[in-house]
Amino acid sequence: MQAAVSFKQFVTGGGSLFDSNVKRQVKCCYPKRKGMTISMLQPSTNVVAPEARDALKRALAKKAVGLVKSGMVVGLGTGSTASVATEELGKLIKQRKLKDVVAVGANYQSRVLARQFGVKTVDLNDVNQIDIAFDGVDEVDINKNLLKGGGAAHTMQKVLDSAAKECIILADQSKVVLQLGTTFPVPVEVLPAAISPVLRKLVTLGGVPEIRSALRKDGPVITDLGNMIVDVSFPNGIENPAELEKYINLIPGVVENGIVSGIATSVLVGIQGGDDIEVIDLADFVKIINSQKETTSA
Ligand SMILES: O=C[C@H](O)[C@H](O)[C@H](O)COP(=O)(O)O
């Protein structure tokens, strides 16, 4: 918990699939799936109530760990969703439903949690490969481009996620957006000694950079890797995530940024309708949205 600089200052208008034109179309006629009234999705606000959010995270986590097989090396992401997945993984190991599973944690916190939940951790450099990685996300678009780094851990998350044969992203419905960068800034990890020139370069890319301040400590957030985090808002959203990801990383002094294109192999979306929770693939979620657009425009 270190974001003393509220993300709200970066909000440039809703970027959710349920906002803008799509919002009005989906609002009244969201279809039923398996008897579930998804019209309860509350598209007008696209806010998932905190109680529902916890239930969605749990459902996502259970679905994700169901993909793990005995003997696998698992990559553990960070954040509240990935933490629940670690907890669920620990349960399966404790119940002996999974054997010989080891995990690589993306940061200090994920390793601590793994040990707490009885998941054996190993160093990334001690394994030949990661079989499957789970991770949360701040935003995901319909092409599986991700925006990560709300917890300032995106650099090692990207290393783990890209090293994994399968990278499974866990997102509740509020994380799915039409365009990245509309509700979150892009976190950029920067060498402290290079902070000023990097800030200037980020402005030339059209960004509005702000150094992330620590909570309950004066001064900036310092990452597990000893660097600073600059949150860069893009007032019109991000048109080409893969391109911007590359351009930011080309700035000398930048360690890594939170745009993740071309790495997620699967995105699981947790949706809620009333008391019902369901986890579906992003592609199916998009199909539902598109079918509604067709229905309403017919
Ligand atoms: O650095 C943090 C990560 O990118 C998290 O995966 C992301 O912030 C999502 O976190 P949460 O699952 O708590 O919403």
Q: DSSP label at 177?
A: B
- Among the residue ranges 41-45, 93-97, 216-220, the one predicted with the least confidence is 41-45
pLDDT value of residue 295: 73
- pLDDT at position 255 over 50: yes
d(CA 288, CA 167): 23
**Bridge-partner residues for 37, per DSSP?**
32
The predicted structure's pLDDT at residue 44: 34
Please tell me the predicted confidence (pLDDT) of residue 193: 98
Q: Does pLDDT of 19 surpass 80? A: no
How far lies 127's CA from each of 69, 70, 103, 140, 230, in Å?
17, 16, 10, 29, 32
| Tokens of residue 282, six digits | 């992003």
Say yes or no to pLDDT of 156 above 60.
Answer: yes
Ligand 1 touching residue 270 (CB < 6 A)? no
Beta bridge partners, 135, equal 169
CA dist 226 and 212 (Å) reads 14
CA of 200 to the centre of ligand 1 (A): 27
- What pLDDT shows up at residue 289? 78
Give yes or no for a contact between 192 and 227, defined as CB atoms under 8 angstroms apart.
yes
Please, which residues bridge with residue 103 across strands? 74, 121
Mean of the pLDDT values across residues 234-246?
Answer: 96
Of 39-48, 52-61, 92-101, 119-128, which range is least confident?
39-48
Q: What is the pLDDT of residues 276-291, one digit of tens each?
A: 899 999 999 998 878 8
Residue 30: is its pLDDT beyond 50? no
What pLDDT does 292 receive?
A: 73
CA distances from 285 to 68, 209, 253, 267, 291 (A): 23, 33, 38, 10, 10
Q: Are 238 and 139 in contact (CB under 8 A)?
A: no
Would you say residue 186 has pLDDT above 70?
Answer: yes
Poorest-pLDDT segment among 7-21, 51-65, 206-220: 7-21
What local confidence, expressed as pLDDT, does residue 22 receive?
33
Predicted pLDDT at 166 = 98
Q: Cα(97) to centroid of ligand 1, in Å?
A: 28
- Whose alpha carbon is nearest atom 5 of ligand 1? 79
pLDDT at 47 over 80: no
- What are the φ/ψ torsions at residue 165 (nearest 5 degrees)? -65, -40
Give the C-alpha separation, 86 to 78, whole Å. Answer: 9
Instruction: Dig out the tokens for 198 from the structure.
Output: 């990097």
20 phi-psi bin (left φ>0, alpha ψ -120 to 50, beta other): left
Two tokens at 205? Answer: 């890319």
What pLDDT is stored for residue 275 in this prediction? 79
> What is residue 8's predicted lDDT score, i.e. its pLDDT?
27
Task: State the alpha helices, DSSP H only, in the chain.
Answer: 20-27, 50-65, 80-94, 108-116, 154-163, 195-204, 241-249, 282-297
- Give the position, in ligand 1's atom list, of the atom nearest the Cα of 82: 12
pLDDT digits (tens, 9 = 90+) for 191-218: 999 999 999 999 999 999 999 999 999 9
Alpha-carbon distance of 146 to 13, in angstroms, equals: 18
- Taking the model in full, what pTM does it have? 0.85
Assess whether the C-beta atom of 154 lies below 6 angstroms from ligand 1: yes
In a 3-state reduction of DSSP, which class is residue 90?
helix
pLDDT-derived band at 6 (thresholds 50, 70, 90) equals very low
pLDDT at 13 over 50: no
pLDDT digits 0-9 by tens, 122-149: 999 999 999 999 999 999 999 999 999 9
Centroid of ligand 1 to alpha carbon of 21 (angstroms): 28
Determine the pLDDT at residue 46: 55
Average pLDDT, the chain: 86
How far does residue 187's CA lie from ligand 1's centre (Å)? 12
Instruction: Identify the pLDDT of residue 298.
Output: 67
Report the alpha-carbon distance of residue 165 to residue 263 in Å, rounded.
10
DSSP string, 252-296: TTEEEESEE-S--SEEEEEEEETTEEEEEEHHHHHHHHHHHHHHH
